[in-house]
Every structure is written in structure tokens, then in C-alpha cells.
Structure 1
Amino acid sequence: MTIRITSALTLMLFGAQAHAAETPKVWTTQAELGAIMTSGNTKGTSVTGKIDSKQELTQWNNEYSLGGYFKEDEITDADGNTSTEKSAERFFVSAKGGYKLDDDFAKLYILGSYTDDSFGAYQKYSLVSVGYGDRLYQDDNKTLDAEIGPGYFSGRTADDVTENGLMLRTAASFNWAFSTTASFKQTLSVEYGEENTRTVAESSISASLIGKMQMKAAFLVQNDSDVPFGKKKTDTLTSLTFVYAF
């Protein structure tokens, strides 16, 4: 199911771009990386990273994202023997093509994403969604964008149960540049289905350091309404990363 969804998404995106190649490609990319290493009574290593790319064409606005999180702890047993134990491993990839309806921000979109989370309630989770998006508010330093549309999801839970079906996706993104060197961003997405409702929200603050280098502090919350026995419904991730734009 995951392979079919990914293949269909790839074909649709490449087909859309082939019809919209009126101008040379214009790319904007941000890469972020953060790592935490602890020693003493608690020893461990965690690494988080993400790459976001945007492509502007005359008729299309395309977005691509790739991210991952890894955590490994050093465990000491009663006999004093030490070993390393993986406690988190998550990878995420998504692609979205937006067909512009006017000179402002209204668009039709197609979105596909896939998440592999070895320790999550859903170890595999993929979706495809189509819908409509527009800018709801804008002033000198704030913007609010929203999207809504139907979709289809497929997931495999931690107890090896496969779930799939139709769902309704809504999403919003609020950006606030409250100074010339710092900004705040809030994103929220809700994927409502009969089997499960997934809600993902991220709050982040970014501050410029030197040139195109920034520092970003973020707090991410992911909630699944229906999870296997023994799994928690809500996962959180707090990160501090360096971001480079190019």
C-alpha cells in the first residue's frame, strides 16, 4: 500500500511539473540539524534533522520535506555492565504540489507523506490528500494560511494491525516576524478518519545568527486518538537546532 501511494504521488507531481515548466526552477531550501549528548549519571545521544525545500514556478508552488529523529541511551544493569539501547527512531518524508488559481495565494493542492516510527503507536503511516488552500490573513509582519481537503491514509500499528480508509485533512500555518532578526511560527494539522484522528502541532521561534545561519527552538506535539494497548496517545519532541538557508 505504501509503495503504491508513493508511486502514484510521484507520477502526479512529475506530471504536474511537466505541464507547468514555463519558467526556470526557483528553489528555496532550509537545512537544520541538532544534537544532544549527555554524560555522568545519564548517558545518551539524540540527533534531529530536517530539510525543507520550496519550488516556485509560474503556475505551481511545490514543497518537499525530509526529517528524522534518533535517540540512543546507555544502560547499566545491576552487575555494572553497560550497553546501548535505541529509544527513538523516526523518519518522515512529504511532497506537496500547489496549482495557483490566481495571482494571490488561492491554490489546489495534492499532498503525500510517509512516516516510519519504530517506537510510535503507528510504526508506518502514509497518506495522500487533495484539496484547497488560501491565505486567510496578512499584514506587515503576520500571515495565516489554511488548507482543507479529503484524503486516504494507511497505517500499521505497533501491534501489527493494518488500518486504512478515507479521512478529512485540515491544516493551518501562522507566521509572525516580530523583529528584523526573529520570527515565530505555529503549524497545526488534523487528519480525521473513522479509524484514527491524528493531530500534529509545532511551535517554533527562529533567530538570525550570522549571515544565513539561524538558531531554532521548537516544540512538537503529535496525538493519535486510537492507539494499541500499552502505547501513549501523545508524543512530544523539544528541539534546539541550527538552520542554514540556501
Structure 2
Amino acid sequence: MFFGSICTSVEARDLIQTLYHADYTPDADDEIPRFTLDGELGVLLNTGNTSASTIKAAVNADHETENWSSLYFAELLYKESGTPTTERDVSAQRFFASAQFDYKLLSPGRRLFMYSDIEDDRFTGYDHRASLAAGYSQRVWRNEDSEFRYSIGPGYTFVEAEEENDLLINDGIIVRASAEYKYFWRSGARLRQFLSTEAGDENTRSRSETSLSANVFGSLAMKLSFILNHETATAEDVDALSTETSVALVYQFF
């Protein structure tokens, strides 16, 4: 009777631990801890009858821990042009930075995310814009050849328009959704497709980025990118759709 009581209590304790004390198990294909940092730089200089210079720089970081998966991104674009008889005019000046923090749930690949970004673009009619969002994200799969993840959730956007911008788009609630697909070749080449949208009552902003990179040697790679930005409501004399094609060198620091 005594030993039977002990066995019963042990079984009950194991059952309680199974139901209420499940240990966290990270994704099997995660290398933890892991930190990667890539730097991107593209420069174009023209001299002669037409003088022009274009600079695009970006930093991309990925930090993986047992409980968190974090993504950091910052980008700078600057372009000016002119002729020997005229002053050089700035035709593009943009800074963008974003960060996303994914908290890993017990089920592999399932997370809760927090996202924030800030944009300062001289030629959109806004002094600056910023967004905050939170919700659910999932890495649907990740293997040797490819990876796919998405996130969706509510948020809030903060808008500061320039004085001459007659189109008043106020701060407001948004729904943010994003998806990212990557494909890896054994040679080291990589294809990346990224889509995001922020939908609000007065404006919807969408972005598509397609890039293909190939190793040159060591940690240095060549990257070709094509970017689409679209807005449903824009300031006067600002196109709803803008495109950007660039070729840059990418160096992996870590």
C-alpha cells in the first residue's frame, strides 16, 4: 500500500510537470547564439557634360538567441546631379531604419513580434514618419535551400508633414503585414523577396524588394536589388509608385 501510494504520487507529479512545466525547445535548425552583420555600399560617380553622384549604404543585422529573434536594418540613399554651368541639385535624400523583435513561443517557428521604424525622405512631402506594430509572426519553414516567414498585427503610425504639403494625413491606427522568402544556392548565391504593407484609413504604404546576391570572394558579395514603393495617397507632385534599381557590394562582418 505504501509503495503504491508513492508510485501514484510520482505519476501524478510527472503528469503535472508535463502539463504545466513544459521546457522550451528552440528550433532544431537554429544556431544559438548567433549574430550576423552585413554592410552594403553602392557608389556611382559621373563627370563631364553631366556631373552626378549617387550613394546607397545599408546595414543589416540578425541576432538569434534562445528566446528572441531580432532583425535590424538601416538604409541611406543620396543622389545629386548638375552640369558645369549649373549648380548641383539633390534629387534623392532618404534615411530609413527598422527593428523587429520576435519572442519565440513553445511551438517551433511561432513567435510574437514587436516592430518599429522611422523614415526621413526629403521628396515625399513629409518631414518624417514612424510606425509601431505588434502581433503574430511565424517562420513557416527553414532548411538548407530556402526559408519563409511572415508577420501580421495592428499598430500605429506617426506622421509629420511639411508645411507645403496640402494633403493632410494624420496619425492613426494601421494593420502591418510582411512576408520574406529566401532561397540559397550551394555556390553561395542568394535570392530574397520581401513584401510589406501598412494599411490605414487614409493611406496604405507598400514595399517590395527583390534582390539577388552572389559571392565574389571570401566575405564579399555582389548584390542586385529592385525595389518598389507604393502609396495610395501622396502629396502634390509626388508619384504614387517609385522604383529603385541598384548594384552594390556587400561585406559580411560577422
Q: Normalising by the residue count of structure 1, what TM-score does the alignment of the two structures yield?
A: 0.83
Which residue in 2 is equivalent to 1:199?
206
Which residue in 2 is equivalent to 1:41?
49
SS in 2 for 1:227: coil
State the 4+ residue runs in structure 1 displaced beyond 6 angstroms.
Answer: none
Deviation, 1:181, is 2.2
Task: Please tell me the residue identity of whatever aligns with 2:37.
Answer: T
Which residue in 1 is equivalent to 2:36?
28
Task: Please tell me the residue identity of whatever aligns with 1:132.
Answer: Y
Deviation, 1:154, is 1.5
Q: Say whether residues 1:94 and 2:98 are aligned partners.
A: yes
> How much identity, in percent, do the aligned residues show?
29
Q: For 1:135 and 1:202, how far apart are their aligned partners in 2? A: 19
Q: For 2:90 and 2:99, how far apart are their aligned partners in 1? A: 29
For the pair shown, the structure with the greater C-alpha radius of gyration is 2
SS in 2 for 1:82: coil
Aligned residue pairs: how many?
A: 219
The one of 163, 179, 199 aligned to 1:172 = 179
Which residue in 2 is equivalent to 1:222?
229
Which residue in 2 is equivalent to 1:21?
none
Q: Is the 8 A contact 2:169 2:202 kept in 1?
A: no
Task: Please tell me the residue identity of whatever aligns with 1:192.
Answer: A
Whichever structure has more strand as a proportion of its residues is: 1
Which residue in 1 is equivalent to 2:61?
53
Q: For 1:205 and 1:26, how far apart are their aligned partners in 2? A: 23
Q: For 1:95 and 1:107, how far apart are their aligned partners in 2? A: 15
Gaps of 5+ in 2: 1-31
Q: Is the 8 A contact 1:71 1:89 kept in 2?
A: yes
Task: Please tell me the residue identity of whatever aligns with 1:186.
Answer: Q
Deviation, 1:211, is 0.6
Q: For 1:185 and 1:68, how far apart are their aligned partners in 2? A: 20
Task: Decide whether aligned partners of structure 1 residues 155 and 75 sit closer, same or farther in structure 2, where only a CA change above 3 A counts.
Answer: farther
Deviation, 1:103, is 5.9
Deviation, 1:122, is 3.6
Which residue in 1 is equivalent to 2:119?
115
**CA-atom RMSD in angstroms:** 1.8
Q: For 2:35 and 2:144, how far apart are their aligned partners in 1? A: 24
Q: How does 1:96-175 map to 2 (within 5 A)?
A: 96-102=100-106, 104-158=108-162, 159-160=164-165, 161=168, 163-175=170-182
Residue by residue over 1:125-154, the C-alpha shift from the partner in whole angstroms, topping out at 9 and shown as x without a partner, is 100000111123445412211110000001
Single out whichever of 199-208 and 103-112 deviates more from structure 2. 103-112
Residue by residue over 1:153-203, the C-alpha shift from the partner in whole angstroms, topping out at 9 and shown as x without a partner, is 012345344521001011000101134221110000011000100000000
Task: Please tell me the residue identity of whatever aligns with 1:86.
Answer: V
Gaps of 5+ in 1: 1-23
Q: For 1:212 and 1:138, how far apart are their aligned partners in 2? A: 23
Deviation, 1:42, is 2.6
The one of 63, 69, 91 aligned to 2:71 = 63
Q: For 1:82 and 1:128, how far apart are their aligned partners in 2? A: 42
Q: How does 1:180-195 map to 2 (within 5 A)?
A: 180-195=187-202
Task: Please tell me the residue identity of whatever aligns with 2:206.
Answer: T
Q: For 2:116 and 2:53, how far apart are their aligned partners in 1? A: 31
Q: Normalising by the residue count of structure 2, what TM-score does the alignment of the two structures yield?
A: 0.81
Q: For 1:26 and 1:187, how far apart are their aligned partners in 2? A: 22
Single out whichever of 136-145 and 196-205 deviates more from structure 2. 136-145
Deviation, 1:98, is 1.0
Q: For 1:32 and 1:225, how far apart are their aligned partners in 2? A: 30
Deviation, 1:26, is 4.0
Deviation, 1:40, is 3.2
